[in-house]
Chain A
Amino acid sequence: MIQNKLARSSTPGVAALQRTISKKFLLPSYIIISFLFLISEKSDFRAIRFIKALINDGITYSIYIVNAPVNLILGAGSTAKQYFNFNIVLENKKLKDEIDQLVSEKKELLFYKNENENLKKVLNIKNKDAYTAVYTKIIHEDTNEFAKNLIITIGSNENIQLGQAVVRNNVYLGKISEVNLLSSKVMVVTDINSRVPVVIPSKGVNAILKGNGLGGAQLLFLPQNVALENNDQIYTSGSDGSIKEGLYIGKISTDNKKDPKNRRYSVDLGFKEHQLNYVSVLKITRQ
């Protein structure tokens, strides 16, 4: 009895609206609206795209606010862990050593970069496309049986375009699959619709990396009789023209069978899903 009372809205305006619009009318109208939305997926009208972008932005930012307490609770564990980390002094020393090493490597890298530039000038080789990175926050990540998406806080306001690569610490994560006004969707490399041209420099082999939809990825179109080894590194080849060349993706893991024909390969990706907070979008600037 109470539940029946609750099913009706107590707000006078809404109750009046409910009385006016009968339930029989609601069902077909929602089905029709849904089909109109679906039909509009195939259309390329600017107005429809704009309305969809507005709806997407509205939903995304509302969900971000609604989800804030949930994220706070989920993140409380790791925050507490950080405070009770008694190895922090040792970790600090280790990190300082690592920074020193990286600084020296950076200097070496700068030397090679200058040398490379000079040699290019001598040989009259044109520079490849330059990229600028735009730093952004992930506000939502979701997985279902059909897709694996991240939502980031920049969209057409920052001139983000479809197909641009998304990286974290120079590790390739995915590419932009949908651009709204203030947010964008990223198709992660593990999505079953993701295809990335890759290269394995140690073997000089090109392939296509395809997401398996289960948090991993597999290599397609590998040349016959190629024998890849454990820890062979995979980088983007940049052959599609939109994704920067040389972005680290992950490394090969094999079952080490002697016959290369029977060897099975899997890919250990260079990032962990569900542990991403901030990423960069690489915007191309043609030269």
Chain B
Amino acid sequence: MKLFLEKIRYYSAHIVITLICINDSIFINTWIAPGPIINIKYVLVFYFSFFEKDRLSVTFLFILGLIFDSLQGMPFGLTPICFIVLNKIAIFLKKRRTHSNFQNEFIAFATSLLVTQIISVIILNYFSQNSFEYFLLAINIIITLIFYPIIRQILKIFYFH
């Protein structure tokens, strides 16, 4: 029974990330702010990669990214690359820093998010005909950074006390 509960707790992260990814706008943008403001999927991927590198497998991130691209009408392959890059940067930065505190964690998140968004912009410029606004992207990054400590605190209640 205990092992079963542990299993549920372990895979609940995967379920939460999947549900948030497929219902991004319904959960977040309707209730908290209008439009695509908070990039909660990147916060979740970073958080779980940073604190437990083996929890989210590359296969899971790849499939989830493809599902997200399909639903959002993005070029196929964009989000898998972004998720995998975010995951790898988070793991790399965690390894590099021996002294772990919130400041280091926040800087690591900001760096990972910035690199991921730069990659997505480059990919969109090369492989998509759709335009986007840098201003909107900047707002997205800033608001995601502002909300990171809050989401992190909520996640800390359930995972990695």
Contacts and interface: CB of A to CB of B under 8 A. Distances in A.
Nearest to B57: A7
B32 interface: no
A193 B131 contact: yes
B80 A30 contact: yes
Contacts, number: 151
Given A3-B52, A213-B133, A146 B71 contact: no
Given A26-B58, A37-B77, A38-B123, A2 B24 contact: no
B10 interface: yes
Interface residues of A, number: 52
B136 A143 contact: no
B127 A41 contact: yes
A144 B136 contact: no
A70 B55 CA distance: 25
**Which residue among A2, A141, A145, A149 has the maximum number of chain B CB atoms within 10 Å of its CB?**
A145
Interface stretch (A55-63, A110-118, A163-171): A55-63
Interface in B57-95: 57-59, 62, 65-67, 70-78, 80-81, 84, 88
Contacts of A63: 22, 67, 71
Contact of B133 (A6, A52, A192): A192
B59 A26 contact: yes
A283 interface: no
Contacts of B6: 2-3, 6
B73 A185 contact: yes
Contacts of A231: none
A3 B48 CA distance: 13
Given A70-B19, A274-B25, 12 more contacts: A4-B54, A6-B10, A23-B58, A27-B88, A36-B77, A59-B70, A66-B22, A140-B71, A142-B22, A144-B72, A145-B137, A214-B34
A5 B55 CA distance: 11
A128 interface: no
Q: State the majority secondary structure of interface residues on A.
A: helix
A36 B140 CA distance: 28
A178 interface: yes
A7 B62 CA distance: 17
B52 to A, nearest CB: 7
B130 interface: yes
A74 interface: yes
A89 interface: no
A146 to B, nearest CB: 5
B39 interface: yes
Interface of A: 2-4, 6-7, 23, 26-27, 30-31, 33-42, 52, 55-56, 59-60, 63, 66-67, 70, 74, 140-149, 151, 177-178, 185, 187, 190, 192-193, 213-215, 274
B71 A142 contact: yes
A38 B78 contact: yes
B115 interface: no
A35 B10 contact: no
Contacts of B88: 27
A26 B57 CA distance: 10
B158 interface: no
Contact of B130 (A38, A40, A146, A151): A146
B84 A27 contact: yes
A190 B81 CA distance: 27
Interface in B105-140: 120, 123-124, 126-128, 130-133, 136-137, 140
Top-7 shortest CB links A-B: A37-B77, A34-B77, A143-B25, A214-B35, A37-B76, A59-B70, A215-B34
